[in-house]
A and B are shown apart, each in its own frame.
Chain A
Amino acid sequence: MTWPTYQPLGDQGVLIGYENKIDPGTNEKVRLLSDALEGTGFPWLRVINFSFRCLLVLYDPDMIHYPQVVKAVREIEAQIRSSHTPMADLYEIPTVYGGQHGPDLSRVAEVTGLSPADVTDTFSSTIFTIYFLGFLGAQPYLGGLPKELHVPRLDSPRLHVPRGSVGMGGIQAGVITVDQPSGFNYIGRTFLSLYNPGKVPPTSLKAGDQIIFPSIPEDRIPAFRGKSPIPRRKGSSIEK
């Protein structure tokens, strides 16, 4: 099969799909295509959004027909060169691990054979990359979870997980931005604000950014509550 594939998504969408896997290289292709399309200013282009390996283009069907959209996107796609990407922005998201804020820490320790302290140390020293923002409320989908922390999702999802919860399921890691049901294993919680509906855009994070979840003690929560993710590196400059 030649990638990417093009398929209609109803009467005003095209779904463009790259290799069927979750990895940084595939995701980078999707991101580069998204950036290139955003730069075109095509008048018929209504919406672009993407995930691990797919990009959705919504178009105005009164201005253009499906085959012409595919042709236009193919031409843009063919010109993309996987150039040296500029160094990513890095953010810190201070997190309280274990206890009431990380109800699955002991389960993750049990499944992985690590001690709870080792799970926390490994997770909090990992640099994750945001593959995309999706689901609801600017929720980051993260790549980079170390193999020793790959733990299956819960057999039965929890009906209510509070926003800010940090955890993992399978090969994925994540932090949730709005309260929701979830089958992830939650080992900690951040009290930063990751989604603000009154702001445009509603988050300071974007696809391609890197984040780390350093461990803080519970009594430090008030110092971080409601604050934005803390920039540690912008482009190539290091901030102290």
Chain B
Amino acid sequence: MRGFKVIHPGMYTTYQDLGRRGFRKYGIPLSGAMDKAALKASNLLVGNPESKAGLEITLQGLKMVALEPLVIAVTGADLQFTINSEYHPPWRSFLLKAGDVVQFRGRKSGLRSYLAVRGGFRAPTFMGSCSVFERCSMGAPLRADNVLEVGDTVTESLGEVCIPEKYIPKSSHQISIRVIMGPQVEAFTPQGIETFLQSTYRVTPQSDRIGYRLDGPRIGHRGRADIISEPVVPGSIQVPNDGQPIALMVDAQVTGGYAKIATAISPDLDLLAQAVPGDTVQFEETDQDGARRARLEQRKLLDWIRNTIPPVG
């Protein structure tokens, strides 16, 4: 059925799910939601499987009208979400009537907001995923007058649910990203490694779904920064010859030729996805046990929703 009609598409609004996995060997990035925990939470809040496609709303401007009664959830950044001009903080579900106008007026905190709808969006699929990735000609951002189809109406009612404050990720202008060192740690001088772990880096405007370019004290190499091209992953922190780190994100190319000093752990990539230019980043070394604890901590949010909301059907 018809779900929404787009009045204004906003800065950059795309369908995103958890990405496409089986195609990296064909040079196709994973893509998917930048803040995966937020997308999963929005889906679970409306009773969907966590992997359904939702809307990733960047910065501001999306305005749509509901064409049918809908159950939706909004998570991630606080982009001043309004229903018929009334402001609502994110991390909760809402019941919409036909004709209700939803809008993201502009950022209060964070950068990317997620909107899921009960039944899921019916978005075009490319190689098993709805995630829009324009560089490889897979889908396009929303445009004015698009009509967004959603999965079949679910009759049983579902109340509006708010996630308790203690489970909501805290937004901050100073974020700490835990990393596992390597794989080319030997390409850097001991001072270079110390600089990386002790300094504060600023997010530059050249930051997007491909990568976050950071600016700060120069990380010194032993020799040249170039290596024979090899696989990279979202979270890889590569350092070109200028000594400024680049954290690769979900749309990054699958192979790269710069030495990588470390890799951010997966839960912390969700935090970086909410950083805006001017925010600062510090890197903190961890190990596999530390990463496991971080994943378990992040899972508490999703477990709370799973235990609270019955899944569809």
Nearest-Cβ distance from residue B90 to partner chain A, whole angstroms? 27
Q: Is the Cβ of A178 less than 8 Å from the Cβ of B135?
A: yes
Query: Which B residues touch A46, using CB under 8 A?
Result: 21
Q: Is the Cβ of B295 less than 8 Å from the Cβ of A202?
A: no
| Interface positions of A from 17 to 67, Cβ below 8 Å from B | 17, 20-22, 34, 46-56, 58, 61-62, 65-66
Bound-complex Cα distance A50 to B228 (A): 12
Given contacts A11-B180, A56-B233, A178-B135, contact A47 B21 (CB under 8 A): yes
Query: Which B residues touch A8, using CB under 8 A?
Result: 180, 182-183, 263, 288
| Interface positions of B from 273 to 303, Cβ below 8 Å from A | 288, 291-292, 295
Given contacts A21-B228, A66-B288, A202-B127, contact A50 B263 (CB under 8 A): no
- Asked if A134 CB lies within 8 Å of chain B CBs, one says yes
Contact size range, B: 35 or more
Query: Which B residues touch A136, using CB under 8 A?
Result: 27-29, 135-136, 253-254
Nearest-Cβ distance from residue A67 to partner chain B, whole angstroms? 8
Q: Is the Cβ of B135 less than 8 Å from the Cβ of A135?
A: no
- Asked if A123 CB lies within 8 Å of chain B CBs, one says no
Nearest-Cβ distance from residue A182 to partner chain B, whole angstroms? 12
Nearest-Cβ distance from residue A21 to partner chain B, whole angstroms? 7
Partner of B229, one of A21, A51, A137: A51
- Asked if B265 CB lies within 8 Å of chain A CBs, one says yes
- Asked if B264 CB lies within 8 Å of chain A CBs, one says yes
Q: Is the Cβ of A13 less than 8 Å from the Cβ of B233?
A: yes
- Asked if B235 CB lies within 8 Å of chain A CBs, one says yes
Query: Which B residues touch A11, using CB under 8 A?
Result: 180, 263, 265-266, 288, 291-292, 295
- Asked if B255 CB lies within 8 Å of chain A CBs, one says yes
Query: Which B residues touch A216, using CB under 8 A?
Result: none
Bound-complex Cα distance A13 to B25 (A): 15
Q: Is the Cβ of B25 less than 8 Å from the Cβ of A137?
A: no
Nearest-Cβ distance from residue B259 to partner chain A, whole angstroms? 12
Q: Is the Cβ of B264 less than 8 Å from the Cβ of A10?
A: yes
Encoded as 1 (CB less than 8 Å from any B CB) or 0, chain A from 197 to 240 comes to 11011110001000000000000000000000000000000000
- Asked if A15 CB lies within 8 Å of chain B CBs, one says yes
- Asked if A12 CB lies within 8 Å of chain B CBs, one says yes
Given contacts A197-B126, A197-B136, contact A52 B292 (CB under 8 A): no
Bound-complex Cα distance A197 to B182 (A): 33
Q: Which residue from chain B places its CB closest to the CB of A22 in the assembled complex? A: B228
Nearest-Cβ distance from residue B202 to partner chain A, whole angstroms? 23
Bound-complex Cα distance A105 to B76 (A): 51
Given contacts A47-B21, A178-B135, contact A56 B231 (CB under 8 A): yes
Nearest-Cβ distance from residue B303 to partner chain A, whole angstroms? 13
- Asked if B151 CB lies within 8 Å of chain A CBs, one says no
Nearest-Cβ distance from residue B183 to partner chain A, whole angstroms? 4
Would you give 16 A-B contacts (Cβ < 8 Å), ordered by A? A8-B288, A10-B264, A11-B292, A13-B263, A17-B183, A20-B228, A49-B231, A51-B231, A55-B231, A56-B233, A133-B26, A134-B253, A138-B28, A197-B127, A200-B128, A201-B23
Interface residues of A (CB under 8 A from B): 7-13, 15, 17, 20-22, 34, 46-56, 58, 61-62, 65-66, 132-139, 141, 177-178, 195, 197-198, 200-203, 207
Interface residues of B (CB under 8 A from A): 21-30, 126-128, 135-138, 180, 182-183, 228-231, 233, 235-236, 253-255, 263-266, 288, 291-292, 295
